[in-house]
Amino acid sequence: GDSVTQMEGPVTLSEEAFLTINCTYTATGYPSLFWYVQYPGEGLQLLLKATKADDKGSNKGFEATYRKETTSFHLEKGSVQVSDSAVYFCALTDGSSNTGKLIFGQGTTLQVKP
Amino acid sequence: DGGITQSPKYLFRKEGQNVTLSCEQNLNHDAMYWYRQDPGQGLRLIYYSQIVNDFQKGDIAEGYSVSREKKESFPLTVTSAQKNPTAFYLCASSIQHRSSYNEQFFGPGTRLTVL
């Protein structure tokens, strides 16, 4: 079945450092890809999305490109802030069952130190 | 403001008791979902519903039940049959269930602890 694999955390960076969180996927069909962010004790918020190959999603300085050839959707930000500390989830729509449900990676914790 | 509300934020339950978690949305979304989140793991789907009076089991439905009597409401009951119910429960909704383009919007979650 479809699956998502994220790099293990925690990822610890200093403020203004460059961020990359790797995400690779296995899927049948043509899924849409998403990055969600979860701050402590809260629900998930959509950060960005891409619906087809070579699409780039971007929001709040974060960006990710849908790479079909490498089945990847890596999250990047040029300069992180302390306020970016959170858990980041990569997800895809379940194309194999056509139910619209999301399949999530295990999440990557980002800690940004001042 | 439109959104999804979940109540209560924290819930404590004794072993052997059923408990119901509330989820309400005023986004006029057709589809609603319940996920369970455990530490260090991604979200796992419990149940989902695409229209009123219809719902399907997700990946970990055993020990849970739901109802969808109104479009805006999708309560989840954690029964005494659920072996390890302590977790963070998240409700979500989306515009169109069968479209692969429509993202899901999440509520703030309910943290259930079994004493």
Query: Does B97 score more than 60 pLDDT?
Result: no
Answer whether B45's CB lies under 8 Å from B87's CB: no
**CA–CA dist A27, A49 (Å, integer):** 16
- What is the total residue count of chain A? 114
**CA–CA dist A15, A81 (Å, integer):** 5
Mean pLDDT confidence for B42-69 = 94
- What is the total residue count of chain B? 115
Q: Does B25 touch chain A (CB under 8 A)?
A: no
Answer whether A57's CB lies under 8 Å from A40's CB: no
Q: How many CB pairs under 8 A join A and B?
A: 64
Q: pLDDT of chain A along its 114 residues, tens only?
A: 889 999 888 999 999 999 999 999 998 878 899 999 999 889 999 999 998 899 999 999 999 999 999 999 999 999 999 999 999 999 998 765 666 688 999 999 999 999
CB atoms within 10 A of CB A29: 12
Nearest to A109 by CA among A16, A24, A6: A6
Which residues sit opposite B10 in a β-bridge? B111
Q: Does B31 touch chain A (CB under 8 A)?
A: yes
Query: Does B1 score more than 70 pLDDT?
Result: no
Q: Residue A7: what are its φ and ψ, rounded to 5°?
A: -65, 145
Instruction: Give the residue, B61 or B2, on which the prediction is more confident.
Output: B61
A-chain residues near B31 (CB < 8 A): 100
**CA–CA dist A55, B60 (Å, integer):** 33
Mean pLDDT confidence for B36-64 = 92
Task: Check whether the bond before B8 is cis (ω within 30° of 0).
Answer: yes
pLDDT of residue B103: 85
**CA–CA dist A88, B56 (Å, integer):** 27
Task: Pull the structure tokens for residue A95.
Answer: 């194309």
Q: Where are the beta strands (DSSP E) in B52-109?
A: 54-57, 64-66, 76-78, 87-94, 105-106
Which residues sit opposite A50 in a β-bridge? A33
**Mind listing the pLDDT tens digit for each residue in B85-94?**
999 999 999 9
Which of A48, A89, A101 would you mutate first to test chain B, the one with the most B CBs within 10 A? A101
A-chain residues near B45 (CB < 8 A): 101-102
